[in-house]
Amino acid sequence: MRLELHIWRQAGPKARGRFVTYPLDGVSEHMSFLEMLDHLNQQLIARGEEPVAFEHDCREGICGSCGVVINGQAHGPLPGTTCCQLHMRHFADGDVLFIEPWRARAFPVLKDLVVDRSAFDRIIQAGGYISTRTGSAPEANAIPVAKSAAELAMDAAACIGCGACVAACPNGAAMLFVAAKITHLGVLPQGQPERLRRARAMVAQMERELFGGCSNARECEAVCPKNISIATIARLNRDFLKASLSA
């Protein structure tokens, strides 16, 4: 199939970016979206041009490296799917695709489609963990965990930290990302001792990183490749409120 691509090119963090048009032939429906970009890059290299920089690694939907906005949708049109797992069979011959990086104040563009998501790491560093030293753990089965709690924790822990939620949010909020971690740890018995402190610390860091707040647009849930529910945000709000009242 043949596509018309309009790709955001930006030489560096401080450079001005712009859309560049690339007609692309010979796209197979079995290619993944990233393989389609590889295909373009091979042609650019052959022509002596610089290939499009984009983030990718595992290419099986789990590392969270990849992510671009395709025609206005983070990770493209297929629900619950990262763009490395999005295959070209979901597009049609002659399609015009606008491909841009995540756009959010907290995610500055580094080059072309690559953004800096280190703010997510700093949020986890602020409190997205259970404080336990290596070697100090009790016997694993000494802590019974209800199956339902484990399943709920796992649903939230499936977050891959890709940042699509932020890119899709009109406020550039990281609420779904933070809420997923708060939920994962907060529904488990091991996570109770630090539960309120965690909510307070993570939200504070989120605000320092210039992420916006939630206004229930639900765009994050719609684009999340791991289908994380905004019910987690309700949990975050509850824990944060409790933390604020007990502070």
Partner 1 sequence: MKLDAHIPSGPLDTCWTRHKDSLPLLSPANKAKRTLIVVGTGLAGASAAASLAELGYTVHAFCYQDSARRAHSIAAQGGINAAKNYANDGDSVWRLFYETIKGGDFRAREANVYRLAEVSGAIIDQCVAQGVPFAREYGGGLANRSFGGALVSRTFYARGQTGQQLLLGAYSALARQVAAGKVLMHPRTEMLDLVVVDGHARGIVTRDLVTGRIELWAGDAVLLCTGGYSNVFYLSTNAKGCNATAIWRAHRRGAGFANPCFTQIHPTCIPQAGEYQSKLTLMSESLRNDGRVWVPRRAGDTRPASAIPEEERDYYLERMYPSYGNLTPRDVASRAAKRMCDEGRGVGPGGRGVFLDLTGAVRTQGRAVIEERYGNLFEMYQRITGEDPYEVPMRIYPAPHYTMGGLWVDYNLMSTIPGLFVLGEANFSDHGANRLGASALMQGLADGYFIAPYTVTGYLASTRLAPVSTDHQAFRAAQAEVEERTRRLVSLSGPRSVDELHRELGSVMWNLCGMSRTAAGLRQAMERIAELRQRFWQEVRVPGGAEDLNQELEKAGRVVDYLELADLMCRDALAREESCGGHFREEYQTPDGEARRDDEHFAHVAVWEWSGDEQPPRRHTEPLSFANVQLTTRSYA
- Assigned token pair, 93: 């011959």
Using the rule CB under 8 A, is 20 a contact of partner 1? no
Using the rule CB under 8 A, is 4 a contact of partner 1? no
| DSSP reduced 3-state for 247 | coil
**Burial of 152 by CB count in 10 Å (0-12 exposed, 13-18 middle, 19+ buried)?**
buried
Closest CA to 186 of 135, 243, 225: 243
Using the rule CB under 8 A, is 204 a contact of partner 1? no
Binds partner 1 (CB under 8 A): choice among 72, 118, 231, 244: 118
* CA separation for the pair 33, 30 (Å, rounded): 9
CB of 217 to partner 1, least distance (A): 26
Using the rule CB under 8 A, is 215 a contact of partner 1? no
Stretch that binds partner 1, among 1-9, 38-46, 169-177, 212-220 (CB under 8 A): 38-46
Residues from 158 through 177 that contact partner 1 (CB under 8 A): 158, 160-161
Stretch that binds partner 1, among 95-103, 170-178, 185-193, 239-247 (CB under 8 A): 185-193
- Assigned token pair, 35: 């393989």
* CA separation for the pair 148, 8 (Å, rounded): 44
Using the rule CB under 8 A, is 89 a contact of partner 1? yes
Using the rule CB under 8 A, is 56 a contact of partner 1? yes
